[in-house]
Structure 1
Amino acid sequence: MHDTQSRTESLLDTIRGIQQQTIMLPEFQRDFRWELDRTYDLFDSLVKEIFIGTIIYGKPSFGMTLREIDTRPRKGKGSNRRLTVHAIDSDEMKRRAQTENLRIVLDGQQRITALYRAITGIDEVYCIVRDVRHETNPHQFELEAILEEFAGEERSDAISVRLVDAYTAEIENWDDEQMDERFAASAYARQQLAEADPDTIKLDRRIYRRTLRRLIELYKRQKMVAFYLLDMTLEKFCLFFERSNSRGIQLNFIDILAAKLYSGFNLRKRIEEFETQTQFQMNREVIVRTIAFIRATERGGQIKIDRSYILEHLEAADFQRLWDEVCTLYASTLRYLDGQHFILAQNWMPSENMLIPLMIFLREIGGGFDRMSEEQRAFVEFWYWASVFANRYSTATNEVIITDSQALTQIAHGQPITARGYFRRLRSLITEPTDLYSYTRRASLTYRGVLNLLAYNASGLHDWSSTQRISLATSDLDDHHIYPRAYIASRPELDMDNDEAEQLVDCVANRTLIPKRLNIRIGKRSPHDYLDELRQKKNTQLADCLASHLIPAEILDEQTWDGLFGFFVEERAKAIFALIEQYAMTPLTEMAERYGAGSDIEHNTASRRTSRDRLPRMLADGRINVGDRVYVTGHPNAVATIASGYDVEYEGRRIPINTWGQQITGWASINIYANVYLERTGKTLESLRQTSEDTPE
């Protein structure tokens, strides 16, 4: 933006620019919406020299579709006609900007449109003159001194000067006789002066002519319209609309792209068609960036998908060729994520930009996701959750999208991932259960990821009001407080300090997704109270539903849980962390060794050497013995015995230790190291773990 000084021009300059189509609107600008009373106020401000704000024009050096200022009548014939649009390419835009002073309205189209319509007579606006006949030299008054108001109709009891008459008088160079003829035809002259004496008629004519000429002077005054003329690059043009268009609809670079493509590809129409034909809302940027990635890959060289590249290089032909294919990939990917329970709803996805690498992967394997091998499926599962908990899609998104799309392309073709240090960037930022306490806001990718991970682990979350699973068909979801905020704020007797409880109540360990239509009347009610009522009135199988949300069934039957908020949050955080370990952390070394480049393998081998020992290693070196008795936190009487590095014996059955822990606690997942105690020591298995590099050879 090289030229940002303030300038001024006359109203007539603005009118001429609009008529000569050297002042035009980007196609994406909203329609003219001002009611006439705002036009009256605008002219009143001009007459009284009250600042009406600065108009902002741009002189872009890139092509786009422009349209005319709205000159349609407000009602009747022609009011619904389509406004003329002009597709202008980059070369013509530059030429016209230099030779014709072509300007594009960035901010202020409502004001200049209102001015144009009133002055040229599209909208009927009258300057109503107050009665000054009995004052000294009334024909010499300035416009502000004789103005009573601006109105949409002339009055029969006051001299009324139509704004378009002043404009016509100027461009046609009316003489006094023509002005008098127009005055004689007015309602005031016909009704008030029919029997008036000559002196009265002469004075009123002079007042009318004086008002007409003062309006012409207003139109011609050079400092009436203040404006900035911005010589804009494409990048700054986009930033202007994203940051400055606060009075209109929210615009981003996709709206500008739609204007560029308009004559060859109607982007908005195609988006509407897609949303009508499917159950999905289209994320426009995901589709556009996917098309940009495919096009850039086809051309070779450095791949870019930022807005500058998109606006400068994507053409209507690219969309005509790739639109249907990319929309199919988009819908197929969403259906896969829904069917496999990676997501509960589009607006609850950790990041919709994660769709792009998956769409590229699907394109490369051809057909549908059912063509994946088991190894590819396992990698996709790991990549998805590792990306979420490494928080990869929170910043520098374009580079992440490109890197991941290239990585998944290599996976699709059975090739190693060549990006240097790729797997190091997939390490979880959640390293212990208490880290989850800091995630309290829906905007957080990790927060949304946790709530979706619960659904993935349970093969879908159950709707509390029925046995049905929540899916994309569910209209809306609410991140519900399990222990209600109002309940904690009422300061009940808890197992922790009340102030600390209020700090934890919004954390993700106390939240889960349920349909908003459930409409539970909660208020300050305890979890046992409202959940038990829900079980009795709507869903007798609620206990089974709660398990998928990692909520213990005992909360329905044991009122003591109402005071165990601290215990609940701690145990649920541990259970959630166990899932993060299972899906995002534990597979990292194996995936790096199988698919990574040398540096990644070396790094993750080192990570494996320094990882914490697991149960089989602990059993092998004697820290734990077969036959040792163990129990789970909060259930000291439900004792099992260690049978192997993976199993325990309990009530005459040999079952996996994780399964036993889940049965005892009612949790859908459990971290056995944090929650299982060795009876002979009274300490958790976690206390016996050590890093492998510290283990004696």
Structure 2
Amino acid sequence: MSYKPKSLFRMLEDVEQKQLLLPHIQRPFVWDEDQMVRLFDSLMRNYPVQTLLFWRTKEPIKARRFMTVVDRDADLSTLYVPEKSVADVEKTFVLDGQQRLQTLYALFRGAILDPQHASLEAYVDLTQGRRELEGTDMLYRLKFSAEPLKLPYYRLRNLMERDAQRDAATIADDLNDALDPILTETAEERRLRSRQVNRNIAQMRTLLREEQHFWVEELDGIANKFEYRKILDIFVRVNSGGTKLTASDLMFAALKEGWEDIEENTEQTVEMLNLSDRLKFESSFPLKCLLVAHGEGAEVNEVSKFTGERGERLLKGLREDWDRSEAAFQELRDFIEQELRLFSDKVVRSYNAFVPLFSFLYHNPKPNEASRARMRAYYHKAQLFNWFGASGDATINAMHQFVDQRCPAGFPLEDIVAYFKRRGFQTEISDANLSDNRMRALLLSIVYVDRSGTSPFNVRFKGNEPHVDHIYPQSMLRNHLGQLSAQINDIGNLRYVGATDNVRKRAELPADYFGRLKRDGIDLSRHLLVQEFADTPAQMKFDLTTFTAFRERRRAEIRRTLRRVVDLVDEPIPPSPVTLDASPAAPAVS
């Protein structure tokens, strides 16, 4: 391993000549213009830049060239360099520093592509650098332009083209001579500007030519032993900051050479599962599912799974079995949308809980209604009782014994429940759950889906996601009936209401408010749950006796619904504690 300075000019020349390349494990270029400008600003201030990490090797690793013109939507397959990708051909890969080097190449040697596909070159105002620019914390602001800009803007590419053989003093003198007649300045302002132009040109030329700004740590895989597996491990560790490399990125990288479509297939799967971005499945999720289905365990960060003979076997199995896997993912998506009615990440506590569902569907496609009911119950228990919270991958692997096989008797809910019960987890709904504010969003969602057949989060307009609302207004309960938070925030007094309606909703008495909704033809049963109140909201008088009776009756109905859906226990409807009374509601409290 060597650690030495290198000039930016030499590195950009190596990029140009395809001597400095990117391994296929590198992700695409992702920096935006602001990040590119900030790097330039830092270098102009002489701020230190993190060490670059290179790897010199002759191994047959697929090599990708840097982009001459930065296109963030580029098809990376068009950038591969076949003649450098074969065995026994020496090449140097950038393991850490892609974003910085690609930025500097675009600034000093190339360009960036705008949304209209025009090539934009970088220009710097040579008079800047004496004070921070208004509204920013930077001394320099680059402009990217498809057309040549006039002075005081200077084209950065000139330093490697037109002015490449000229010294900094000569370049600066010529530029100052050209600026003198076009700027209106006092003698002092001209002196300061001339000095700043000299400094800026000298700094940029030093950045390019001197071996003092950029340090490179090079892993010599030719003279020393740096095998691919070790390099992959190093690569994951050094990419822990900046553009972070995930474990799934590593798996893609290790497998793509043998199956180019694997990343695209899994990305399409994630997009499908996310239901138009309403959920937040990550790329690691389908990889976990595939690994478990092929007996490799849920851990996606073990390099040994993806390399050597083991990796070849895994890849062969994934490729040959993709149609079956894709069908299971589609069934999982349908289950999420049609059975669980999940339309918001807010009611998903752990995405790991879905992996056993995939495993079951992979081995048991098209389950019957009885199985689907047990699958729904499993999912709700896993979320409510946080079964996968502490050790997700280990728990997924433990589920392997139950769901990664043909299950003629249907989804093995009883075995799974027994497993978690033995380990001290809660497995059934309790009264304490109904008083747990952390659970109320999940609990109300389950009840609404059961009662209305759709999720309260399945809204037509973005921004109208539901809020938890008090049926009896909390301020009036506190101020006029002397109720404490425990009674006011009891789940029996809570419902979901769209954000827009919640803003418009006044602190009306419930008999008035729900009576008005009923006259407007709105079905109150999905909100009030207790049919006699939904039929006759006038009985929802604002007194302590009625409020307590309503809250307890509705709470009992919520518990009954949860027991039926989550615990698969159908309890009898409790008797109503109130007598139906259609007499006028109590007058509004002033």
* TM-based fold match above 0.5: yes
Question: Counterpart in 2 of 1:545?
Answer: 526
Alignment of 1:454-603 (within 5 A): 454-455=447-448, 460-462=450-452, 469-470=454-455, 475=460, 478-483=465-470, 487-489=473-475, 492-493=478-479, 495-498=481-484, 500=486, 505=489, 510-513=493-496, 521-522=504-505, 524-539=507-522, 541-542=523-524, 544-546=525-527, 548=529, 552-553=533-534, 556-561=537-542, 572-581=554-563
Shift of 1:320: 3.3
Q: Does 1:294 align with 2:293?
A: yes
Contact 2:428–2:566 (CA<8 Å) still a contact in 1? no
Q: Does 1:406 align with 2:401?
A: yes
Alignment of 1:175-186 (within 5 A): none
Query: In structure 2, which of residues 247, 255, 261 is the aligned counterpart of residue 253 of structure 1?
Result: 247
1:461 corresponds to which letter in structure 2? R
Shift of 1:251: 6.6
Residues 185 and 495 of structure 1: CA distance in aligned 2, closer, same or farther (over 3 Å): closer
Give, in whole Å, the separation in 2 of the partners of 1:28 and 1:327. 25
Cα deviation digits, residues 136-157 of structure 1 (max 9, x gap): xxxxxxxxxxx9998775756x
Give, in whole Å, the separation in 1 of the partners of 2:50 and 2:532. 58
Does the residue aligned with 1:493 lie in a helix, a strand or coil? helix
1:661 corresponds to which letter in structure 2? P
Contact 2:528–2:534 (CA<8 Å) still a contact in 1? yes
Contact 2:55–2:94 (CA<8 Å) still a contact in 1? yes
Give, in whole Å, the separation in 2 of the partners of 1:483 and 1:324. 48
1:439 corresponds to which letter in structure 2? N
Contact 1:12–1:219 (CA<8 Å) still a contact in 2? yes
Alignment of 1:664-683 (within 5 A): none
Give, in whole Å, the separation in 1 of the partners of 2:298 and 2:270. 27
Alignment of 1:291-370 (within 5 A): 291-296=290-295, 303-308=297-302, 313=311, 317-336=316-335, 338-339=337-338, 341-345=339-343, 347=345, 348-349=347-348, 351-366=350-365, 368-370=366-368
Shift of 1:474: 5.3
Question: Counterpart in 1 of 2:106?
Answer: 117
Query: In structure 1, which of residues 380, 387, 397 is the aligned counterpart of residue 392 of structure 2?
Result: 397
1:222 corresponds to which letter in structure 2? E
Residues 30 and 532 of structure 1: CA distance in aligned 2, closer, same or farther (over 3 Å): farther
Shift of 1:328: 1.9
Shift of 1:369: 1.4
Shift of 1:392: 0.9
Question: Counterpart in 2 of 1:450?
Answer: 443
Shift of 1:412: 0.5
State the aligned residue count. Answer: 514
Query: In structure 2, which of residues 50, 53, 69 is the aligned counterpart of residue 54 of structure 1?
Result: 50
Give, in whole Å, the separation in 2 of the partners of 1:226 and 1:293. 43
2:451 corresponds to which letter in structure 1? L
Give, in whole Å, the separation in 2 of the partners of 1:406 and 1:665. 53
Unpaired runs of at least 5, structure 1: 131-146, 194-206, 297-301, 441-445, 463-467, 588-655, 667-697
Alignment of 1:9-88 (within 5 A): 9-19=6-16, 20-22=18-20, 24=22, 27-34=26-33, 39=37, 43=40, 45-49=42-46, 51=47, 53-54=49-50, 57=53, 67-72=64-69, 82=75, 84-86=78-80
2:396 corresponds to which letter in structure 1? I
Contact 1:125–1:151 (CA<8 Å) still a contact in 2? yes
1:483 corresponds to which letter in structure 2? H
Shift of 1:483: 0.6
Give, in whole Å, the separation in 2 of the partners of 1:280 and 1:125. 43
1:545 corresponds to which letter in structure 2? R
Give, in whole Å, the separation in 2 of the partners of 1:322 and 1:548. 47
Does the residue aligned with 1:112 lie in a helix, a strand or coil? helix
- Identical-residue share of aligned pairs (%): 14
Question: Counterpart in 2 of 1:678?
Answer: none
1:167 corresponds to which letter in structure 2? M
Does the residue aligned with 2:572 lie in a helix, a strand or coil? helix
Cα deviation digits, residues 89-114 of structure 1 (max 9, x gap): xx989999xx75522246x71x4333
Cα deviation digits, residues 175-208 of structure 1 (max 9, x gap): 88x998x999989679979xxxxxxxxxxxxx99
Q: Rg: which structure is higher? A: 1
Contact 2:26–2:95 (CA<8 Å) still a contact in 1? no
Residues 547 and 27 of structure 1: CA distance in aligned 2, closer, same or farther (over 3 Å): same
Query: In structure 1, which of residues 100, 104, 111 is the aligned counterpart of residue 95 of structure 2?
Result: 104
Give, in whole Å, the separation in 2 of the partners of 1:512 and 1:251. 42
1:488 corresponds to which letter in structure 2? Q
Question: Counterpart in 2 of 1:621?
Answer: none
Give, in whole Å, the separation in 1 of the partners of 2:173 and 2:431. 87
Does the residue aligned with 1:391 lie in a helix, a strand or coil? coil
Residues 218 and 280 of structure 1: CA distance in aligned 2, closer, same or farther (over 3 Å): closer
Does the residue aligned with 2:15 lie in a helix, a strand or coil? helix
Residues 16 and 414 of structure 1: CA distance in aligned 2, closer, same or farther (over 3 Å): same
Contact 2:429–2:566 (CA<8 Å) still a contact in 1? no
- Give me the TM-score of the superposition, normalised by structure 2: 0.65
Give, in whole Å, the separation in 2 of the partners of 1:291 and 1:422. 24
Residues 278 and 304 of structure 1: CA distance in aligned 2, closer, same or farther (over 3 Å): closer
Residues 552 and 35 of structure 1: CA distance in aligned 2, closer, same or farther (over 3 Å): same
1:54 corresponds to which letter in structure 2? Q
Question: Counterpart in 2 of 1:224?
Answer: 213
Give, in whole Å, the separation in 1 of the partners of 2:507 and 2:61. 56
Does the residue aligned with 1:659 lie in a helix, a strand or coil? coil
Cα deviation digits, residues 575-602 of structure 1 (max 9, x gap): 4444555565687xxxxxxxxxxxxxxx
Residues 255 and 235 of structure 1: CA distance in aligned 2, closer, same or farther (over 3 Å): same
Cα deviation digits, residues 19-67 of structure 1 (max 9, x gap): 345353755334453279x64x755553442x26536647699998764
Does the residue aligned with 1:658 lie in a helix, a strand or coil? coil
Contact 2:387–2:425 (CA<8 Å) still a contact in 1? no
Shift of 1:454: 1.8
Contact 1:342–1:455 (CA<8 Å) still a contact in 2? no
Give, in whole Å, the separation in 2 of the partners of 1:533 and 1:8. 77
- Give me the TM-score of the superposition, normalised by structure 1: 0.57
Give, in whole Å, the separation in 2 of the partners of 1:10 and 1:307. 35
1:345 corresponds to which letter in structure 2? F
Unpaired runs of at least 5, structure 2: 112-120, 129-138, 183-195, 220-225, 581-590
Question: Counterpart in 2 of 1:433?
Answer: 431
Query: In structure 2, which of residues 552, 561, 573 is the aligned counterpart of residue 659 of structure 1?
Result: 573
Give, in whole Å, the separation in 2 of the partners of 1:319 and 1:393. 26
Contact 1:69–1:113 (CA<8 Å) still a contact in 2? yes
Question: Counterpart in 2 of 1:424?
Answer: 422
Q: Does 1:167 align with 2:163?
A: no
Give, in whole Å, the separation in 2 of the partners of 1:478 and 1:104. 43
Contact 1:528–1:559 (CA<8 Å) still a contact in 2? yes
Shift of 1:291: 1.3
Contact 1:351–1:393 (CA<8 Å) still a contact in 2? yes
Contact 1:364–1:413 (CA<8 Å) still a contact in 2? no
Give, in whole Å, the separation in 1 of the partners of 2:284 and 2:503. 36
Contact 1:451–1:512 (CA<8 Å) still a contact in 2? yes
Does the residue aligned with 2:504 lie in a helix, a strand or coil? coil
Give, in whole Å, the separation in 2 of the partners of 1:585 and 1:67. 54
- Root-mean-square deviation (CA), in Å? 5.6
Question: Counterpart in 2 of 1:682?
Answer: none
Contact 2:468–2:495 (CA<8 Å) still a contact in 1? yes
Cα deviation digits, residues 122-169 of structure 1 (max 9, x gap): 435467479xxxxxxxxxxxxxxxx9998775756x7x8754444358
